Structure 1
Amino acid sequence: MKVLFGMALRQATGFVESLLRLIGLDWTVLDFSTLSRRQKTLAVNIPYRGSKGPLHLLVDSTGIKLEGEWHARKHGGPKRRVWRKIHLGIDEQTLEVRAVQITGSHIGDAPVLPNLLEQIPADQQCHG
């Protein structure tokens, strides 16, 4: 998740914990120190199968709610609920996620499109 979404390790850890909670799994995520130590020797290669012909990129976004549990534990007070958007660029033929960007909830897909396209190598883009 860290490599796929370009997150810092602490962000990726929190993201995975939130995803597990959302889908109802009672799994624990390793602590930061263990993950930090293990990531030094972990090589991540996300293969891309590639589609035949020009790339048809489907772009859509979905909102996710992040609760400020850490902030509430650290400073007391109510949990802050923050909404973010995950913008995805998906290859229409293979259904692989080719580009991802996380923004504030007020940002639409159109302004993010140039950033999504930058994540795709130029030789795989269709210009026309």
Structure 2
Amino acid sequence: MKKPTYRIRNWSEYNASLKQRGSLTIWVSPEAVKNWTTEELTGEPGASPTYTDLAIEALATVQAIYG
């Protein structure tokens, strides 16, 4: 049995759906957002923010679930 072929008529919509296909939306609690980074100074001007243990654990959990 032959697989049916489809004609794409709306390329902009098709392209947008391909871009959206790999996205993942997750819910993050307000507590986690508020405590995502710490005000702790690293000693260097312009340094990257320091992430809290809560943020690191949350992202490690997401990685463990979704790989």
TM over 0.5: no
Which of these two proteins has the greater Rg computed from alpha carbons?
Answer: 2
Structure (1 or 2) with the greater strand fraction: 1
* Structure ranking higher on relative contact order (CA contacts 8 Å, 6+ apart): 2
Structure (1 or 2) with the greater helix fraction: 2
